[in-house]
Structure 1
Amino acid sequence: MAKITVNQDRCKGCGLCINACPKKCIDFSTEINKIGYHYAVLKNEKECVGCGSCYQMCPDTCIEVYR
């Protein structure tokens, strides 16, 4: 099973990872991080295939992919 983690404190909430996910597993959190943004979260862990599209799109390298 694959999984991603998002560094919540560094995420600027740009949404590029959300748009890049082919399985639509990522969404914005309802919480706000310490710099004032709704950060990205993995909302559907069972559907994540660990393709790395989100990682590749993140301009701030806030995402790590585990397979």
Structure 2
Amino acid sequence: MAQIKVDLKRCKSCGICIAFCPKNVYAVNKEGGPVIAQPELCSKCNLCVMRCPDFALELEV
């Protein structure tokens, strides 16, 4: 299973990672940012990491 890490100091809660995730791994927190809700669904496609404008995501496989 892939491990997704969100650097909350870098994350601006833009929601791009949530929008681009084809497997709906993320949920939205009260600030509009990502919460890893279903990590077991991650297909390791890396779209969230590539699209994050703030380099706040890391995918460990």
Q: After superposition, what is the alpha-carbon deviation per residue over 1:16-37, rounded to whole angstroms, capped at 9, x for unaligned?
A: 000110001012223xxxxxx4
Structure-2-length-normalised TM-score: 0.87
Q: Is 1:2 aligned to residue 2 of structure 2?
A: yes
Structure 2: gaps of 5 or more residues = none
Structure-1-length-normalised TM-score: 0.80
Q: How many residues align?
A: 61
Root-mean-square deviation (CA), in Å? 1.3
- Is contact 2:5-2:59 (8 Å) kept? yes
Q: After superposition, what is the alpha-carbon deviation per residue over 1:5-60, rounded to whole angstroms, capped at 9, x for unaligned?
A: 10012211100000110001012223xxxxxx443121101111221000011000
* More helix, by proportion: 2
Q: Pick the structure with greater CA Rg.
A: 1
Partner residue in 1 for 2:42 = 48
Identity, in percent, stands at: 36
Q: Structure 2 counterpart of 1:60, which letter?
A: D
User: Which is worse superposed, 43-52 or 14-23?
Assistant: 43-52
